Amino acid sequence: MFKYLFRFAALLLLTTTLYSCSSDQDVVNVYSGRHYQVDENLFREFTLQTGIRVNLVKADTDQLINRLELEGRNTPADVFITADAGRMIQCVEKGLLRPMDMSAISKVVPANLRDSDNYWTGFTKRARVLVYDKERVNPEELNSYEDLVSHQWKGRILVRSSQNHYNQTLMASIIAEHGEEKALNWAESVVNNMAQSPRGNDRDQVKAIAAGIGDIAIVNTYYMGLLLNSPNQEEQRIARQMGIYFPNQQDRGTHINISGAAITAYAPNKENAQKLIEFLLNPESQREFAEKNYEYPVNTLVEWTDLLKEWGTFRGDTIPLDKLGKHLSRATIIFHEAGWN
């Protein structure tokens, strides 16, 4: 208990020192679980265009959710940003968000990528794909997430921990499609086919393929963009060695997740919060996310960049992401029961 309080106090001290969050007609206060330079560049551009200063607090998403709960009505936060739909769903359930005006947003963001009750919207999207070694795997061998249970993948699959938000939301989508019993069987079979115990982030899975530890990995697309455009030439070489495969093209489509934005329940500057979120969805901002962070635009009017086109067009799963919330708690239990650490 004391360890938790100490860590939280340290977070409060750090963010208070870095940023003075306040209620002001020329301010918008942002709590963000994303840690990308492109976000900060766009926040600066928003200030230049509107005169509204962005006070940014960055931390682990779960830490920020805990902070919003503890601050309650006294929170200075106006906008909450996270890189996973599952965490947005949690915030809705905890009463930490307020509905926003979707009249403009609904014209450019597909319904499955935003909350049906208007509590949040996606502003970028990622596909959770299979990355494979071009020399050791024929892409014709690949098919779907479900096919990863095949004995041919014994000792060849790499994937990060079940504690990872992306995997939890993927599992929720599998439960939604197949039910809990089949989802458990799938998870147990994937565990049996793993090349090693889960460790590291998505980039580490790709590097493990290059090191010969495994042959295929479950990875978010934008990590491949980061590797291909890394200042480290060895990372570029590794990325060029890999192929990208979009699973489930013959049925429901590849699993999609989003980075989302929402207005907090007690936002002191809710009008400015609305302006910032709409700014992140305009064509110029959407192109920046695609060009600098290799994420897919959610704005349907924005063309993909050359790199995204190079990876290929694909059918994405159109299940409304807000419908996955009811499966998230079971997803973590199923991972535990399957021995997916």
CATH of the domain at 13: 3.40.190.10
- State pLDDT tens for residues 93-119: 999 999 999 999 999 999 999 999 999
Q: List the beta bridge partners of residue 245.
A: 130
Q: Which residues contact 18 (CB under 8 A, 6 or more apart)?
A: 57
- State pLDDT tens for residues 190-211: 999 999 999 999 999 999 999 9
Residue 18 has pLDDT above 50, yes or no: no
**89 and 149 together in one domain:** no
Residue 265 has pLDDT above 80, yes or no: yes
**121 and 131 together in one domain:** no
pLDDT for 24 equals 55
Domain range enclosing 80: 2-125+257-304
Q: Residues 99-109, buried b or exposed e (16+ Cβ, 10 A)?
A: ebebeebeebb
219: phi then psi, degrees, rounded to nearest 5: -145, 145
Q: How far apart are CA 104 and CA 264, in angstroms?
A: 19
3-state secondary structure 207-268: HHHHCCCCCEEEEEHHHHHHHHCCCCHHHHHHHHCEEEECCCCCCCCECEEEEEEEEECCCC
- State pLDDT tens for residues 153-171: 999 999 999 999 999 999 9
Number of domains in the chain: 2
Residue 2 has pLDDT above 80, yes or no: no
**204 and 332 together in one domain:** yes
Q: Which residues contact 15 (CB under 8 A, 6 or more apart)?
A: 57, 59
Summary mean pLDDT of the chain: 93
Instruction: Place 25 in a pLDDT band, splitting at 50, 70 and 90.
Output: confident
